[in-house]
Amino acid sequence: MKLAYRFVFYFGGFSIGLVFLMFFLSGKKTSCAYGPDARVLKNIQIKSLKYSESVQEQLNNNVIDTLTLNSIFKGADINFSKSDTNSVPCKTYRVVGDVYELDVENCERVATIKTLIIR
């Protein structure tokens, strides 16, 4: 079989596969979280959030609201050098946003925001 025919068959099958993927994955909440930052942030977001006393006090004093706290996770990064990823049973992560930094304790069923730092 000529090399040109092989390319035609390969790209033909590849394009049919892409059409099937687009059909099956369209309309669903699918995401590609391949990096460690994205996986940790997604894991924190799907859990119920609790707040420590200091963060709850800042919420009560209108320093920050819960919508802002939830939006921090959308564009934030994880600073793994300041995180404790080896602790058991809950790992602690430093979530760094544009203006805010959070220390989040990520347990199996719940995530607790321990500290909130405004830069």
In this structure, what is the dihedral angle of CA atoms 70, 75, 77, 78, given to the nearest 10 degrees?
A: 20
Distance CA 103, CA 91 (A): 10
> Percentage of the chain surpassing pLDDT 90?
39
Query: Where would I find the H helices in the chain?
Result: 3-25, 36-46, 53-60, 66-72
Per-residue pLDDT at 26:
76
Give the pTM: 0.71
State the pLDDT confidence band at 97, using cuts at 50, 70 and 90.
confident
pLDDT at 94 over 90: yes
Composition of the chain by helix, strand, coil, percent to 5: 40, 30, 30
